[in-house]
Amino acid sequence: MKKRLLYGFAIVLLVVSVLLVVWQGSFRIGFGPRDPSQTFAFWAISTLIFILMVTLGFILFRTGLKLYIERQANREGSRLRSKLVWGALLLSFVPVLFLVLFSYFVLNRSLAAWFSSPAENQVKLFVSVAAQLEHEMQDEVDAQTALLAAQPETRQLLSGGGRSPGLLERFSRQYGFRSAGIFQP
């Protein structure tokens, strides 16, 4: 009876853990780093986790190789040691699985959001600056057009009168423009 209760509790705990991991991975919260140091800190933590996992994998491989050699040589205690190592690995497999899932769902997705967020902000900033520059340039061209149209010689030329020699060159020199031109609409 106690064994069934223990198994039932373990299954419920496993299901709750799976649901919590899936639930954590489903969040789409808009957040980002406050400054580049936070982005760097999370990158460093993720790199440290990777290095530690590679180190742990190497240690486990070395231990497994030693156990295999001992079992092949039929040394005393090798069977017991093998059972202990396999039992410890199986006991630690479930927490490691959930830690890996947590790392993937939460840390890596937040890192991806944090690393792409500054680039997206820069693109938005550049688009905004380009729009403002275009607006300013159009305003400047409109002001120059109005200034040229306000000249009496320009009005005379557009009404069909004679062309004043050097009008556009004088206008360009007076206001510091490279060139000026009048086109019929």
Range of the domain at 52: 34-117
Distance of CA 3 to the CA centre of its chain: 48
**What's the helix, strand, coil split of the chain in %, to 5?**
80, 0, 20
152 CB-contact burial (10 Å; exposed 0-12 / middle 13-18 / buried 19+): exposed
Q: What is the pLDDT of residue 173?
A: 82
In a domain, 44, yes or no: yes
Residue range 144-178, pLDDT digits in tens: 888 777 777 777 777 777 667 777 788 788 878 77
Inform me whether the pLDDT recorded for 137 exceeds 60: yes
- Top pLDDT among 75 and 26 is at 75
Mean pLDDT of the chain: 81
- Region 131-138: mean pLDDT is 92
45: number of Cβ within 10 Å: 13
Q: Is residue 99 part of a domain?
A: yes
Higher pLDDT, 12 or 109: 12
Q: Is 27 left (phi over 0), alpha (psi -120 to 50) or beta?
A: beta
Range from 3-7, 30-34, 168-172 that averages highest in pLDDT: 3-7
Lowest mean pLDDT among 29-33, 60-64, 77-81: 29-33
* pLDDT band with cut points at 50, 70 and 90 for residue 27: low
> Does the pTM of the predicted model rise above 0.85?
no
Q: What is the pLDDT of residues 92-104, one digit of tens each?
A: 887 888 888 787 7
pLDDT over 70 (residue 24): no
- Flag whether 82 is in a domain: yes
pLDDT of residue 130: 93
17-39: b or e for each residue (b if 16 or more CB lie within 10 Å)?
beeebeeeeeeeeeeebeeeeeb
In a domain, 2, yes or no: no
Residue 75 counted as domain residue: yes
| 183 found inside a domain | no
Asked, for residue 97, whether it belongs to a domain, the answer is yes
Tokens encoding 140: 């400047």
Work out how many domains the chain is built from and give that number: 1
The structure tokens listed for 178 are 């490279």
Q: Long-range contacts made by residues 178-184, C-beta under 8 angstroms, separation at least 24?
A: 180/144, 180/148, 182/148, 182/154, 182/157, 182/158
Q: Is 47 inside a domain boundary?
A: yes
